[in-house]
Structure 1
Amino acid sequence: MLTIAIAQAPSDLADWAARMAWLEAHLPEVSAQGADLLVLPELFACGYFIGDQLQERAEPCDGVTAKQLQKLAQAHGLAIHCGYAERSGETLYNSAMCIGPDGVLLGHQRKLAIPPGFERNFLAPGDGVSLFEFRGFKIATLICYDAEFPETFRHVAALGAELVLVPTALGADWNWVAETMIPTRAYENGVFLAYANGAGQQGDMSFLGKSVIATPDGRELARAAAGPEILFADLDHALVAKAQARLPYLKDRLRLHLS
């Protein structure tokens, strides 16, 4: 069993210091609820809809955010999965890292598909997907738009992912994605899914909220409303094998003759 938490954080937190202060203030609650893993929204460390400031706030993968997450993860005895703007040389990526309760980097992922809009002015696409293991689960990260492609979800499920973490910055006019598409991704691959969105307003952008934790059979274990909220759910590892045996999409897709 893995206890997971999603922090649907307010999107208007001013800067890195304010965001880390918000996280530190809420970690005692998360820890008291017995969470093993906390998932934060897309680009949580710097803010999502910040335009040119993205270049100023980007940092290396071992920068101040990684160091602060190591400190907080060790202090509260849980893993923290956090989106941030990564600088590698002259290139910027929309990335996420997961720091374990011992302060060690468990996993790191760059966003694969850069959507239309301001992101394409600053960010390069990542290349490839890697899994990491934690508390007996094989875990993949797909960032926001990545999760809207059935191909990416099917790929990580075929690699053996049992839980997919999706930090996102979904706008208020994309309700169908959060309500219908995302739980379907869990169902059609027989995996757990944690979809972590922001809440409220940042500049001219309104965030939908509606973060969700979904099961391998498509049920919702927890669903947020529009405002800031922390979700909790217990994930039973046995449900993955049960769902994939009942609906063996991953095996039977190999029997299809499509040419």
Structure 2
Amino acid sequence: MKPFTIAGIQMKVSATHSNLEMMKLKLDITMNVYPAVDLVLFSELCGYGPLTYYAQELPGHFEDEMKAMAKKHKIWLVPGSIFEKSGDKIYNTALVINPQGEVVSRYRKMFPFYPYEVGVTPGSEFCIFDIPDVGRFGLSICYDMWFPETIRTLAVMGAEVILHPTLTGTMDRDIEHSIAQTMAAVNQCFFFDINGLDSGGIGRSTVCGPDGRIMYQAGSTEEIIPIEIDMERVQRSRELGVMRLGQPLKSFRDHMGDFNIYNPNKKHEYLESLGPLIKPQKPEQLTELKQRESMIQLPVNLVE
């Protein structure tokens, strides 16, 4: 076994000013207390909070500061995500920085939390990266994991560890714990789900092993979470099965089939019947919305 230690940092996040200096302080503290740490992971939107008002271009000041910190401590660094301004679009983007202070990848969140994450454009490319002599890592952000196809794709691409910065301050955190465990088990991988505090979430970060069991679950206070992992656990799980039972990745390989629900040209009558992607409405407001929709569709039906 070649030990590799990942530290999640669960910290308070402000929505009114930059959290950059506090992130740097937390990094310094982490590496002073736990010098064996190889990779540090912060929560989603940790740098500037959840407001698109603070969107900035990449590369930029935040990226430069994080590159310098990774190089200073000679660690791999995923500093959560920030809102990235690119032309007239805004993305929720996470960085991967190596110990030489170089950006090796940027990942744009594929599933913004619609209809709440207003004005954010979905990304379209998956993110995996290799750490020499350790293994392959995949990057996912918050709501992405609610769509199992995203994590399965990373696993099929060879990811053995999923790094998952999140920002959850809502009552569905228990559900997310279940999803994190499930994603770890059905993809036979380590899963690091790191949440923030205050404007950055309600904490309760979770780390799961390739058998789906929780290795550590944080509380709702600031914490540094250093977890040493053994990549051989992933390899043995994928070769011999979860708890030496189910072998989901090999079974998926051998019976992948043609899941035609994913055909982009296929219309799904039931899904279309669910209505628009909107925030929950009072019954009378929903009725008005449906009436407006039917009026808009009427000319199309008449033409047909």
- Same fold per superposition (TM over 0.5): yes
Map of 2:146 onto structure 1? 148
Map of 2:47 onto structure 1? 45
* Cα distance in 2, alignment partners of residues 65 and 129 from structure 1: 22
The alpha carbon displacement at 1:258 in A equals 7.1
The alpha carbon displacement at 1:28 in A equals 2.5
Map of 1:243 onto structure 2? 237
Task: Report how many aligned residue pairs link the two structures.
Answer: 247
* Cα distance in 2, alignment partners of residues 20 and 258 from structure 1: 46
> Radius of gyration: which is bigger?
2
SS in 1 for 2:159: coil
| Residue correspondence of structure 1 range 118-157 to structure 2 within 5 A | 118-119=116-117, 121-135=118-132, 136-157=134-155
Question: Structure 1 pair 7/13, CA: closer, same or farther in 2 (3 Å)?
Answer: farther
Q: Which amino acid aligns with 1:101?
A: P
Instruction: Please point out which of 197, 216, 224 is paired with 1:222.
Output: 216
Using CA pairs below 8 Å that are at least 6 residues apart, which structure has the higher relative contact order? 1
Verify: 1:105 aligned to 2:103, yes or no.
yes
Do 1:70 and 1:104's aligned partners in 2 also have CA atoms closer than 8 Å?
A: yes
- Unmatched tracts of structure 2, length 5 or more: 242-246, 260-304
Q: Which amino acid aligns with 2:93?
A: S
Q: Which amino acid aligns with 1:6?
A: G
Question: Structure 1 pair 190/177, CA: closer, same or farther in 2 (3 Å)?
Answer: same
Verify: 1:15 aligned to 2:17, yes or no.
yes
* Cα distance in 2, alignment partners of residues 177 and 228 from structure 1: 22
* Cα distance in 2, alignment partners of residues 207 and 112 from structure 1: 20
Map of 2:251 onto structure 1? 252
* Larger strand share, 1 or 2: 1
Q: Which amino acid aligns with 2:218?
A: A
* Cα distance in 2, alignment partners of residues 25 and 198 from structure 1: 16
Q: Which amino acid aligns with 1:146?
A: D
Sequence identity percentage: 26
Instruction: Please point out which of 76, 79, 82 is paired with 1:79.
Output: 76
The alpha carbon displacement at 1:150 in A equals 1.2
* Cα distance in 1, alignment partners of residues 137 and 254 from structure 2: 26
Do 2:145 and 2:179's aligned partners in 1 also have CA atoms closer than 8 Å?
A: no
Do 1:222 and 1:232's aligned partners in 2 also have CA atoms closer than 8 Å?
A: no
The alpha carbon displacement at 1:71 in A equals 1.0
Map of 1:24 onto structure 2? 24
* Cα distance in 2, alignment partners of residues 63 and 258 from structure 1: 43
* Cα distance in 1, alignment partners of residues 225 and 115 from structure 2: 29
The alpha carbon displacement at 1:130 in A equals 2.5
Per-residue CA deviation, residues 31-84 of structure 1 (Å, 9 max, x unaligned), is: 131211111111111102x3xxx13x2122211111000111111221220211
For the aligned residues, what is the CA RMSD? 1.7
Map of 1:60 onto structure 2? 57
Map of 2:297 onto structure 1? none
The alpha carbon displacement at 1:255 in A equals 3.3
TM-score, with structure 1 as normaliser: 0.89
TM-score, with structure 2 as normaliser: 0.77
Do 2:14 and 2:48's aligned partners in 1 also have CA atoms closer than 8 Å?
A: no
Map of 2:174 onto structure 1? 176
